[in-house]
Chain A
Amino acid sequence: MSEGGNGEGHLRGLERLYAQAPVNGVFRSRLVIPARGRAEIRFDVTPDMFHAAGASHGTIYFKMLDDAAFYAANSMVEDCFVLTTQFNLFLTRPVKAEPLVAIGQWVSGARRVLIAESRLLDSAGEEVARGQGTFMRSRIRLMDLPGYADGPA
């Protein structure tokens, strides 16, 4: 859909980009982009992410829902990094120390403004939160970012 696109290579590049982002050293998690327009992030909530009352802090919900929707959106844009400009969150249930998966899905938009949504599921597949974001194509070229253009790690 834009110059420099190489399909699968773009999706693998985004996965490497995610793995190399400094923030994911703090939130240890793994991104898989199974197809254009979709992203899945798996991670384990551990007690060091709890608020004072013993369940996951809201930060975790935003981090995972935003990134899942973000990469679903960026999978549709092959030349530039996108940026989150707005994000709405709906939290359904508290999360304990358990494995979670965030699933992002592109909704609309092509050249400049994109919309994507995401769901956060617990280990039983029950939805614990959902989100929707608006993303904007930036001038930051993916090729210039560490990890994107590398071969298999």
Chain B
Amino acid sequence: MDLPEHRLPASTLVPALARQVQAAGGFATVLRKGSEWGASLVLVHRAGSFVGAYEKVPTLSGEPSWRLAAEGEAAVSAMVEKQGRFDPDLWVLELDIADAARFVPGLAASR
């Protein structure tokens, strides 16, 4: 009858994701720290010369889905700036690691 309430706040999930990527030898840094229970997350993903900003899209299954919202340095910076102004709860995590989908399910598939 009850809805699942065993969720973790963004303030736990986002730094944990950064640590996982770092522990695996990748680069990860929290570019923007949002609210404890922030609903919005943008991933700035680097792979070679590619840089893209992915928005987390909520899904019914709970499995996150990612939408490429901006590509290229200037567009990514502008997108992050704009979204941060729009939602003060926003978290932004930058990462650079091979096969990022190991840590962020669905991320690579959306490219």
Contacts and interface: CB of A to CB of B under 8 A. Distances in A.
B73 interface: no
Interface stretch (B3-11, B15-23, B93-101, B103-111): B3-11
Interface of B is mostly: loop
Given A88-B59, A107-B7, A132-B60, A112 B1 contact: no
Interface in A22-53: none
A112 B3 contact: no
Given A109-B37, A109-B40, A115 B58 contact: yes
Contact of B38 (A90, A110, A130, A131): A110
A12 interface: no
Q: Bin chain A's interface residue count.
A: 20 to 34
A112 B88 contact: yes
B89 A111 contact: yes
A121 interface: yes
A103 interface: yes
Nearest to A110: B35
Interface string A78-121: 00000000101010000000000001010111111111010101
A130 B37 contact: no
Given A131-B60, A132-B59, A105 B1 contact: no
Given A121-B1, A131-B60, A134-B58, A112 B37 contact: no
B30 interface: no
A87 to B, nearest CB: 10
B60 A112 contact: no
A125 B60 CA distance: 20
Contacts of B81: none
Nearest to A103: B3
A115 B38 CA distance: 9
B40 A110 contact: no
A89 to B, nearest CB: 8
A108 B10 contact: yes
A90 B59 CA distance: 11
Contacts of A119: 3
A86 B59 CA distance: 11
Nearest to A105: B3
Contacts of B60: 88, 90, 117, 130-132
B50 interface: no
A113 B60 CA distance: 17
The 10 closest A-B pairs by CB, nearest first: A109-B39, A108-B39, A105-B3, A112-B87, A115-B39, A110-B35, A113-B87, A111-B88, A108-B37, A113-B39
